[in-house]
Amino acid sequence: MNVFNQLSIWLSFQVSIIFLIGIPVTLSFWSIQKKNKAVIKLLSIYWKVSLLFFISLLLLIGKYNYALVVTNISTLLMTVSVWFWNDINDELSEYDFFYSLTTTTKIWRWAITFISLNFFIQSLRNFNCFSFINSDKCEIWLQPSSDLYIVIKNLFDFFFGANFTQPISKFLGLFSLLIYILGLIQWSIIKLPKNGRNSCFSENGKK
């Protein structure tokens, strides 16, 4: 059962790389080429929100005890960010199925939703890892981030001539998390009451 659980978590991270990073990058360039303002705005919001997911990877590398909580919150916020905006939803609904850009965007939004749900279900199966990621039973959650740690460590050594360690990763993750939380609070206090669920993707209306 442990082997199956480990394989399931490993596959979850591999699939997430495709749908949380690969496809959004493709959609970003595609929407710019097509000059589709709604999709461009949706992806710009998504990338800002998804920074929390990358922060969670730093925290996993640094073996921060609550890193798994941050990971789940990040996937939840990413899901909310692609469904939240009324003006973008209305714009996307006006395109028929054969307009490939918006159809792919809609499918991708559902994929993000299922990935977020999958992460949560996987986490519940290892509930103790929410508060103590350093236990032996939680090693399966740290394993997928080990490859990223090697890549960052080599890049850090190449560009700065210094050793990138797990404590450094934890510090950078926590510092970035603080900045992210402050930015989220600012948006909640200033922009959300002003614009509501309107993304303002086009100041002159839909084009």
pLDDT confidence of residue 85: 95
d(CA 145, CA 5): 16
Give the lowest-confidence range in 35-44, 161-170, 196-205: 196-205
Sign of CA dihedral 108, 113, 114, 115: positive
pLDDT in tens, 109-126: 999 999 899 888 888 888
pLDDT in tens, 53-106: 999 989 998 889 999 999 999 999 999 999 999 999 999 999 988 899 999 999
Element (H, E) at 113: helix 100-124
pLDDT confidence of residue 187: 93
d(CA 131, CA 129): 5
Two structure tokens written together for 42: 């949706």
- Using a pLDDT cut of 90, give the percent of the chain over it: 51
Task: Report the amino acid identity of residue 146.
Answer: S
